[in-house]
Chains A and B, each alone.
Chain A
Amino acid sequence: MSSKEWPLWEVFIRSKQGLSHKHVGSLRAADAQMAIDNARDVYTRRSEGISIWVIESKLVTASDPDESAEFFEPSESKIYRHPTFYNVPDGISHM
């Protein structure tokens, strides 16, 4: 007999067709099926969703916030990846 707690699950909800699943919070459940059921009761009481994903929190791998400078800042200088970097002569449309 185990007296340990139910594991923690992260909940993602698709609010309507055409949108991606979005993280909404977490909850406790003994298994995946229960996690889905609980997510339905906890996070969609006001018709917030049409589809639910759950994943055990311990299975999520996250980037390290201490490395965020070397991770994310280098892309900031690569402004040529954005369309606003380029000059288009006046009068040109559909571009």
Chain B
Amino acid sequence: MSTKNIEELEREFQAKIDADIKIEPNDWMPEGYRKTLMRQISQHAHSEIVGMLPEGNWITRAPSLKRKAVLLAKVQDEAGHGLYLYSAAETLGLDREKSIDDLHSGKAKYSSIFNYPTLTWADMGTIGWLVDGAAIMNQVPLCRCSYGPYARAMVRVCKEESFHQRQGFEIVSLLANGTPEQKQMAQDSLNRFWWPALMMFGPNDDNSPNSAQSIKWKIKRSSNDELRQQFIDVTVAQAEMVGLTIPDKDLKWNEARGSYDFGTINWEEFNQVIQGNGPCNKERIDARRNAKENGAWVREAANAFAEKRKKKELTH
């Protein structure tokens, strides 16, 4: 046991963070730091896993063999990313299955975007382009996060994710340059996903109470609004390039700021979706809960078999 008092420990901890020394699983850390990380990493993991569903929807209906393979590989990566993140959370003592149960009971949250339905094939493009695009913007800075296992998981995630956004944009630009029906499909999809994608960065900075502390701890490296602005600034040009229209009449280049001004986000909708009232919240959680419940006998069988084998080995 350490004999240092808590203030001393906290001071040393912050000094390590300030010096960009990573924190590792068994190091001393303030309870708040541990809790924030556990919440953030598990929410992130849940988002990856729930995020498999809207796209998984279209695997069996993918329009070509190439698209089927790409989509399978992408959704599979999301399972992998969820797994890396749950692993990172386990290093903090957060049991994966317990954390998944919290997701199923509604106690734990996940990214609000996945509660929107995927209605057309174009949504596979838009999700890759906008949702993965927004996710990457959030995630790249997390590769430098102060907690070692989280940062390492994010390095892996970002490396793998680089193809996700590209394949999405490829779909979108193909549709935008395709037949009138295809172009319309792409525009409709952009209309539905644009605003929810902006909400992915979370509440405005004035309404994000934990942000300052998270930035001080280097769990978070940029503010919600900074990231959102950065996302808009790069995405508008991409939309113009393929001839699609961003559904925001207030969107305008601001020469002085060197950024786009944009319309007001419907935070009421955001709050409703977070609270469980989005179009697909129930379907998503039901699907995950069913997967776990229907798989219980399989997991039990594997355990029982492993125990039998162990006994057999001991008696031989």
Contact = CB atoms under 8 A, between A and B. Distances in A.
A6 B87 CA distance: 14
A26 B90 contact: yes
B303 A4 contact: yes
Nearest to B27: A65
B24 A31 contact: no
* Best-surrounded residue of A3, A4, A28, A30 (most CB of chain B within 10 A): A30
A18 to B, nearest CB: 22
A26 B90 CA distance: 9
Contact of A31 (B2, B97, B160, B306): B306
A50 interface: no
A90 interface: no
Task: Say whether chain B's binding surface is mostly helix, strand, loop, or mixed.
Answer: helix
A6 B303 contact: yes
Contacts of B97: 5
A4 B303 CA distance: 8
Interface stretch (B76-84, B102-110, B134-142, B258-266): B76-84
Chain A contact-residue range equals: 20 to 34
Contacts of B83: 25, 27, 42
B167 to A, nearest CB: 15
Q: Which of B24, B80, B160 has the largest count of A CB atoms less than 10 A from its CB? A: B80
A66 B305 CA distance: 40
B27 A2 contact: no
Interface in A62-86: 62, 64-66
B289 interface: no
Contacts of A46: 160
B302 A65 contact: no
A28 B77 CA distance: 17
Given A2-B300, A5-B299, 6 more contacts: A26-B90, A27-B87, A31-B309, A42-B80, A45-B76, A65-B26
